Structure 1
Amino acid sequence: MAAPEKKLDKSKSGLRMIPVNGNDSSPFTLSEPPWVPDDECPECQNSNCRARFDFIRRRKHHCRRCGKCFCNKCCEDKSPLPRMCFIDPVRQCLTCREISRRETDFFDKHLKILMNGGCFTVSDSDVSPEEGSSFFCKISPNHRQLLFEGECDKHEPVQIEKIDSLQILTSGKDDEGNTIAGGLAICYKDSTGSSNVVQMVVEQGTNKKPGQIWIAAMQKVSRQK
């Protein structure tokens, strides 16, 4: 599946690189919020500041993530905001800046791991993992589907937005007593709207580390939706 075609979009908040087709938008992106009108902001909306805007402090700044109005001190930092597809760092309030910084790791690291894919033994809820089939599993370039690529068998893609829950499948403990992640059970709605469970187990006889890293990255998905 080819990466979606994108275009440059200019808004009052900054330049964004967005898909030409809205149906290709990543489920992890956020829409730009409406800005709180200047005339409705007599003071900074940081509850710990509340500095009043007057003839001395007249400049008002809007956080690109939440759209609220702040004084320069409370909204002077410019930080990356990948969930809104901004090309350059944009002005954000103190609270939103910290949220965006935590999310940047997901976009810069975990999404790339998921798109690179991994090898798993895949089975549905009515089939034991031992009877599953080998698939190369990865997230599509637009982040909307979990794809299963097999040489012999086929499995319908799982829509990321249709995932209800994720459960780690364990495979014993390591020498230090830590639980080892050996797979993942994904509860999702299929194309008919019915609930299904697909089990993905790291293939035996292979280097399990890449699969375990992929599983850890997939766990992050439920926190970003």
Structure 2
Amino acid sequence: MANTERKLVHSKSGLRMISIDDSESPFMLTEPQWVPDVECPYCMQCQTKFVLMKRRHHCRRCGRCYCSTCCEKKVSLHRMCFIDPVRQCDSCCEVSRKECEFFDKHIKVLLAGGNFVLVDADVINNNQMSVTCKLSTDHRLLTFEGGPDMEPFQLSSIESVQILTTGTDADGNPLPSGIALKYRNKDEDLKIIKMSIINGPNRRQAMLWVAAMQKAYKMIYETRTMR
């Protein structure tokens, strides 16, 4: 999932390429425990009874037990680092396909970074400074280049993300003007950083970064609730 040293491991669900030091990306999900065969005499979706010619299949994302009809599709599962597409039930397939867009598109935006005006009283005494905010290549940190000497912080420490807006477009939709991140620093103190989008040639990239960051936080929040 990131440009760090990797190792190939084999689980009963398939081949996975994971971090060599076993450290996890905040987007990563652990493999589920499979529902034991003895506990699922029937497909958990269509209720078809399992017999010799009607075998059980387990969804690699949720671990539930299905017949071949209800669990026939194989879809990429980035969040568990599988090398190849893996068998998933219909509902999990839909979720995994949506996540593919994040890893194929939005993660690249976060890695490239966005240019903002940073306002943080604790760091720069209420002065406005231009910074480039990026996601680290291991997907664990938000880093800041330029402006004040600001410590990176863990992506997993973010507690809320708020899109700042100003005015509306021709259709009445709010126009994003920046982003506010609430997080806990290494001392567990709660901090808030507000970053405003800079008008100019890099404005579109910053707007895309804000949208991608919102999607990233949503995924991190879902990861917390699943563990």
**Same fold flag (TM > 0.5):** yes
Q: What residue ranges of structure 2 are gaps of 5+ in the alignment?
A: 221-227
Mapped partners of 1:202, 1:128: distance in 2: 18
The residue that corresponds to 1:131 in the other structure is: 127
Which of these residues, 136, 142, 147, is aligned with residue 140 of structure 1?
136
The alignment-based identity, stated in percent, is 49
Deviation track 1:24-69 (CA, whole Å, cap 9, x = no partner) reads: x2110101111112122211111xx110112332x11111001111
Q: Which amino acid aligns with 2:10?
A: K
Q: Is 2:154 the partner of 1:155? A: no
Q: Distance in 2 between matches of 1:157 and 1:205?
A: 26
| Match of residue 18 from structure 2 | 18
Provide the rounded CA distance (Å) in 2 between the counterparts of 1:203 and 1:129.
20
Answer yes or no: is the 8 Å Cα contact 1:125–1:199 preserved in 2: no
Q: What's the CA shift for 1:172?
A: 2.5
- Where does residue 41 of structure 1 map in the other structure? 40
Letter in structure 1 aligned against 2:177 = G
Alpha-carbon distance in structure 1 between the residues aligned to 2:133 and 2:166: 20
How many Å separate the matches in 2 of 1:5 and 1:55?
Answer: 44
Partner of 1:74: 70
Q: Give runs of aligned pairs for residues 210-221 of structure 1, distance below 5 A.
A: 210-221=205-216
Partner of 1:165: 160
3-state SS, counterpart of residue 131 of structure 1: coil
Q: For each residue in 1:58-109, what CA deviation from the matched residue of structure 2 results, as whole angstroms up to 9, or x when unmatched?
A: x111110011111111111111111111111100011111111111111111
Note the C-alpha offset of 1:130: 7.4
In structure 2, give the amino acid aligned to 1:97: C
The answer to whether the 8 A contact 1:167-1:185 is kept is yes
Q: Is the 8 A contact 2:76 2:100 kept in 1?
A: yes
Instruction: State the TM-score, normalized to the length of structure 1.
Output: 0.91
The answer as to whether partners of 1:129 and 1:199 remain within 8 angstroms in 2 is no
- Measured against aligned partners, the alpha-carbon deviations of 1:88-141 in whole angstroms (never above 9, x if no partner) come to 110001111111111111111111110111111112155899722111111011
Q: Given residue 111 of structure 2, which amino acid in structure 1 is its aligned partner?
A: M
- Correspondence for 1:52: 49
Contact 2:123 2:148 in 1 (8 A): no
Deviation sequence 1:132-184 (CA, Å, 0-9, x none): 2111111011111110011x521111211110101111233334433211110
- CA separation in 1, counterparts of 2:3 and 2:193? 25
Does the Cα contact within 8 Å between 1:124 and 1:196 map onto a contact in 2?
no
Q: Distance in 2 between matches of 1:39 and 1:176?
A: 56
- Secondary structure, aligned partner of 2:192: strand
- RMSD across aligned C-alpha pairs, in angstroms? 1.9
Secondary structure, aligned partner of 2:97? helix
